[in-house]
Amino acid sequence: MFTKILIANRGEIACRVITTARKMGIQTVAVYSEADRDARHVLLADEAVHIGPAASRESYLVADKIIAACKQTGAQAVHPGYGFLSENAAFAKRVEEEGIVFIGPKHHSIGAMGDKIESKKLAGKAGVNCIPGVNDAIDTPENAVEIAKGIGYPVMIKASAGGGGKGLRVAFNDKEAFEGFTSCRNEARNSFGDDRVFIEKFVEEPRHIEVQLIGDAHGNVLYLNERECSIQRRHQKVIEEAPSPFISDATRKAMGEQAVALARAVQYQSAGTVEFVVGKDQSFYFLEMNTRLQVEHPVTECITGLDLVELMIRVAAGEKLPLTQAEVQRNGWAIECRINAEDPFRNFLPSTGRLVRFAPPAQTMFQSNTADLLGVRVDTGVQDGGEIPMFYDSMIAKLIVHGKDRNDAIAKMREALNGFVIRGVSSNIPFQAALLAHPRFVKGDFNTGFIAEQYGKGFSAEDVPHDDPDFLVALAAFVRRKSRERTAGLTGQLPGYGVQVGKDYAVVTLGVGGKNLYTAVHVDEFVGERGSATVTVNGKSFAICSPSRLNDIAIVGTVNGQPFTAQVERGTPKNPLALQVQHNGTRIEVLVGSPRMAELHRLMPFKAPPDMSRFVLSPMPGLLVDVAVQPGQKVQAGERVAVIEAMKMENVLFAAADGVVGKVLAAKGESLTVDQPIIEFA
């Protein structure tokens, strides 16, 4: 067994590998860029080596620097994590040639599966179901149209070297096939330096279901059940679960056996995943093989009780797999939500900056520990007070739950999301909460088009209806009552001017449908020691009991005997006197005071926001990589004016109307904040 390994990655996955290595008594080496000098994975590792500037192409993607760090520290093996160099066959080969063990498949296996065209040919020879199509590169858009007609619409036009949703188009007619081929080829050339494009049948109502594999150097290959990954936004996975709520045991067995056959065909060693597209009739077809550990591997660890990172390390060290196919378990149900630093209410634009508060829900399951299951686990590479840099992926944590069945897992996930406190940057938690509450998700009735169908016009606060909005009002009044009780107990108050607690309150919910909502609330039977009260709202009674303190953001307790977790915070950017209440994805801002306060508040004049229509504003924090206009220049509506880059995502800004540029307020290369003015029109 190795005594020291280097993790050629950053963030959550680097922390994940370090945890298992520590359990196995193996020392770890972290590598870090300038942006990650104080990152969590650097603090967790036994040693850390600086490998360059913030940009990944100058640090995490430079094979020479990784290998030099191995030699400098005496690391005997490299774990590549996922992303970066994890599926780079040339890197794996180079590592092996340098006498260092690559904790992953052999370079020839990576190479065979890394090319989408060649991998499909290999899969067909191995007896794996393949989607009808033409697996040879297509030369012209006219040829693409003829092939598409022969296969039958709809078809999928894909770049051979594509990934992450880039270089992919769906065509339903000749015109779309012609245009889709051209744009797909251009995108592939620009993104991957490889413009080969092929066409295959587009499976309608498709599900994305993948099979987890593990193989060793002794010819043993096992399939560790499947994962359902159909909840995707723009081809990026959002929620994953294991097992799938859709396929039968017979389909599961057939998919698993075909995945194993493919792995054997390329002499696969280590962890890997075979992805299938599954039709509504449970017909399944090979999509691609990921020759690395997947982001969503924890859900498989939950239902099988196996530590996949440990198995990868042991296999790389030459050990045999410790179990047979018959011994692979499938216990309970696991769900993973990817927690991303993005604003769902601003079309999911990246959100970077300081994590003012980062407090995940209480964990009962932990990385590398497969003994304690049926609970909550958080995999993350960030910490309270840390910085979310603009240079890397937007995922900051993975929230994993394991339940006895699917409904139990959904309930656990909703409660865990309620208790996940993130402040300083926006997160997609409200969107995750809305998905988990959606009737079709609860029934398991969805496919890869689910998010596009249900949220095609974007995501707004109205897309997260609360089960009982009066509970949010009651909770705000309850917290205010506790605060008043404490204030009333302060010593030194002047006689006759002491704080009067009272039982009648008015809750003003701010900005509901463009106006304020006024609700009378009665708080009775308050017991401070126990933290309990009976709150009456709109004729409904809420018996609330919570031991949480006033400075706690996450509040736990019971309401009418049922447990709940919610977030209540004092002060909002708009109003320092307001309370912000958040539960099940719904967030409200309220003022809680006396009935007289509410009467006076109704008389307050409405302050209209400033008119910013003359400005082009930055929709997200990021780097201003281009300003395409100059003062005095005439601009037409729809004309490109600036480009902002953040988290591997480029956002082009266009003029909303015809006009003349008055001032350019930000310079190329400047770091922008959200809503910062870039251009002012005269």
Q: How far apart are CA 377 and CA 12, in angstroms?
A: 13
Give the Cα separation of 51 and 372 in Å (integer).
37
- In the chain, the amino acid numbered 567 is Q
Catalytic residue (one of 200, 288, 296, 301) = 288
The token duo for 197 is: 């494009």
Q: How many residues does the chain have?
A: 682
Residues 299-312 as b/e (b if ≥16 CB within 10 A, e otherwise) read bbbbbbebbbbbbb
- Taking the C-alpha atoms of residue 246 and residue 207, their distance in angstroms, rounded to an integer, is 9
Reduce the DSSP state of residue 127 to 3 states and report it.
coil
Tokens of 443: 């029934």
How far apart CA 503 and CA 311 sit, in angstroms, is 60
Burial level of 97, CB count in 10 A (0-12/13-18/19+)?
A: exposed
Cα 550 to Cα 487, 557, 574, distances in angstroms: 12, 13, 21
Helix (H), strand (E), coil (C) string for 540-582: EEEEEECCCCCCCCEEEEEECCEEEEEEEEECCCCCCCCEEEE
492 Ramachandran zone, left/alpha/beta (phi>0; psi -120 to 50): left
**Contact at 8 Å (CB) between 318 and 221?**
no
Name, in order, each residue with C-beta under 8 angstroms of 175's C-beta and a sequence gap of 6 or more.
none
DSSP state at residue 305: -
**Contact between residue 321 and residue 315 where contact means Cβ atoms under 8 Å apart:** yes
CA distances in angstroms from 407 to 377, 414, 585, listed in the order given: 18, 11, 18
Main-chain phi, psi angles of 154, to 5 degrees: -80, 155
* C-beta atoms surrounding 90 within 10 Å: 12
Which residues lie closer than 8 Å to 86 by C-beta, 6 or more apart?
9, 80, 104, 291, 292, 293
Q: What are the residues whose beta carbons fall under 8 Å from the beta carbon of 106, sequence distance 6 or more? A: 92, 96, 267, 269
Cis bond upstream, residue 430 (ω within 30): no
Amino acid at 281: D
Q: Which amino acid is at 648?
A: K
Instruction: Provide the CA 369 distance to its chain's centre, in angstroms.
Output: 23
- Tell me how far apart the alpha carbons of residues 651 and 665 are, in angstroms, rounded to a whole number: 18
Question: What is the residue type of 284?
Answer: F
SS3 content of the chain, % helix, strand, coil (to 5): 30, 35, 40
Cβ 533 vs Cβ 521: under 8 Å: no
Contact 259, 223 (CB under 8 A): yes
Q: What DSSP element (H or E) covers 364?
A: none
Task: Judge whether 241 counts as a catalytic residue.
Answer: no
- Dist CA 4 CA 102 (whole Å): 13
Query: Among residues 72, 92, 158, which one has the least CA distance to residue 119?
Result: 158
Is residue 475 a contact partner of residue 581, using CB atoms and an 8 Å limit? yes
Residues involved in catalysis: 288
